Amino acid sequence: MLVKLAWRNLWRNKIRTGIMLSAMVFGLIGAVSMMGFVTGMYASMIHNAIAWQTSHIQVHNSRYLNDPDINATIVDASQLQQAIAELTDVKAWSARFVADGMVASARSARGVRITGVEPDAEAQVTPIVESIEQGEWLSDEGRNPVLVSVKMAERLRLKLGSKVVLTLTSASGEVTGGAFRVRGIFKTPSSAFDDGNVFVRRTDLSALAGIDGVHEVAILLGNDNDAFAFKDELQAQISSQNTVRDWQEVQPMLASIIKQMGPSNAIMLGIYVVALAFGIVNIMLMSVFERTREFGVLMAVGMQKHKVFMLIMLETTCLGVSGAVLGILGSIGLVAVFQQTGIPLGKMAEGLGAFGVDTTLYPQVSVSDYQMVFITVVAASLLAALYPAHQILKKRPVDAMAEKH
């Protein structure tokens, strides 16, 4: 009975209730959409970092992490490869020979990270093959092929077939170099990665450096969350001179991003809820004061004060639930559209590209996010109704009936 009465009271002034519901719905759609795009941006950064830079797991010689010396190769690499092969969670893995050096053309030179890879294995770990803009991926054919990024090709005035010289410090501590030909030109979502990396065959780089072995093994798993348990399992099976790290340890910034996702969404939702609460306080005060005499009559004929209080709270609950449901339904529809079309970043893409964000953003809103939004909005509505309810309940029935509005 009280619920039915509360719903009818809510719509006694259709225009006022309609305006408040519209404000709640459109405000909630905006808040949820913003939360979705922030989450989508963070997810894009994490996905691209794992895909291009960290993989899920990396293995190095412990000395290499403290001092990236070219002689600090992985200890007992064959044992490591056998351990990886025996673990079922592994999707793909790639052994890399890594050296810091310089790439020089006839026009200019730049410091780079030279990564020597096995072409077939690397193509399974990173999506670099799909990111080649010109030319082709490394293969066993040809002498000393190299892949450079679009950004580096522009700065060094390179094109397919151009000759570059890679210079690095050899295992004996001497500066050595070799001539390479541009086989392909790639472009990744991270402009910082593009600016500092070139790819060659591992055998070519090992021969140039005068040392065999690998400095880094990158492992791709089926699920991001599997990395933490996998790290401990793999570490127990290999030499203690090697260190296994998960993707959050390789790039601590990713761990910080994950920790920031919850608070950032909570801040955006909190701003909306505070504004919503003031709106509800306003509309309920107006509604209650307009019906002061009515509430006085109800109390005078024997209606208990706690039922009057319950009636006001139910009115606000109906308002909050209606606004939350309609707002969430609208948000689901809008997010579904943008998940198909995305939003191009335009001029912002280049700046955000330094952080590994894709040029097109796709929002991500989980079921738990929608649940949090619903609960928060309804709770805020109830809290906002306490003051108007208190204002009417503190009046005596005779005083309330004497009020004129």
> Which of 179, 204, 221 is where one domain is finished?
221
The reply to whether 132 and 275 lie within a common domain is no
* 216 within 8 A of 98, measured Cβ to Cβ: yes
Residue 42 in domain: yes
**pLDDT higher than 70, residue 358:** no
Residue 120 in domain: yes
How would residue 275 be classed by pLDDT, with cut points 50, 70 and 90?
confident
The reply to whether 43 and 66 lie within a common domain is no
> Which of 167, 195, 221 is where one domain is finished?
221
Residues 333 and 76: their CA atoms lie apart, in Å, by 54
For residue range 100-113, list pLDDT tens digits in order.
999 998 888 889 99
**What does the pLDDT read at residue 128?**
87
Pairing of β 197-201 and β 163-169: unpaired
Which residue in this structure is represented by tokens 């953003």? Answer: 361
Higher pLDDT, 192 or 198: 198
The reply to whether 34 and 15 lie within a common domain is yes
Lowest mean pLDDT among 137-146, 180-189, 234-243, 306-315: 306-315
The reply to whether 68 and 149 lie within a common domain is yes
Residue 242 in domain: no
The reply to whether 275 and 149 lie within a common domain is no
SS (H, E, C) 92-118: EEEEEEEEEEEEECCCCEEEEEEEEEC
Residue 382 in domain: yes
Q: What is the mean pLDDT of the chain?
A: 84
Residues 14 and 9: their CA atoms lie apart, in Å, by 10
Residue 247 in domain: no
Residue 245 in domain: no
If one counts the domains in the chain, the total is 2
The reply to whether 260 and 205 lie within a common domain is no
Residues 151 and 187: their CA atoms lie apart, in Å, by 8
The CA R_g of the chain, rounded to the nearest whole Å, is: 31
**pLDDT higher than 60, residue 354:** no
For residue range 77-125, list pLDDT tens digits in order.
888 888 888 887 888 999 999 999 999 988 888 899 999 999 999 999 9
The reply to whether 26 and 92 lie within a common domain is no
> Which of 165, 197, 221 is where one domain is finished?
221
Across the range 39-66, mean pLDDT stands at: 86
The residue segments making up the domain with residue 176 are 57-221
The reply to whether 16 and 108 lie within a common domain is no
The reply to whether 278 and 293 lie within a common domain is yes
Burial class (CB in 10 A: 0-12, 13-18, 19+), 194: buried
The reply to whether 270 and 121 lie within a common domain is no
Q: At 21, phi and psi to the nearest 5?
A: -65, -40
Cut 0.85: pTM above it: no
Residues 77 and 61: their CA atoms lie apart, in Å, by 10
